[in-house]
């Protein structure tokens, strides 16, 4: 059985719940998200799959 699961929607749901519970986390969640997107953009996802 193949399970194709993208991490984007899962991260979005978790981040949304955390922001609702602790609004102060919004700055950290956005900063971490932007850093991760920047790193993926720089290095590409092709390097993860040989």
pLDDT per residue as tens digits for the range 7-27: 777 877 887 888 888 888 788
What ranges make up the beta strands (E) of 1-50? none
Q: Once rounded to an integer, what is the mean pLDDT over residues 27-39?
A: 83
What is the C-alpha separation between 17 and 11, in angstroms, rounded?
10
Q: Are 20 and 13 in contact (CB under 8 A)?
A: no
Whole-model pTM above 0.75? no
């Amino acid at each position: 059985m193949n399970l194709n699961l993208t991490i984007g929607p899962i991260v979005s749901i978790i981040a949304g719940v955390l922001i609702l519970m602790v609004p102060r986390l919004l700055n950290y969640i956005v900063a971490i998200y932007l850093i991760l997107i920047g790193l993926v953009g720089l290095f590409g996802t092709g390097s993860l799959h040989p």
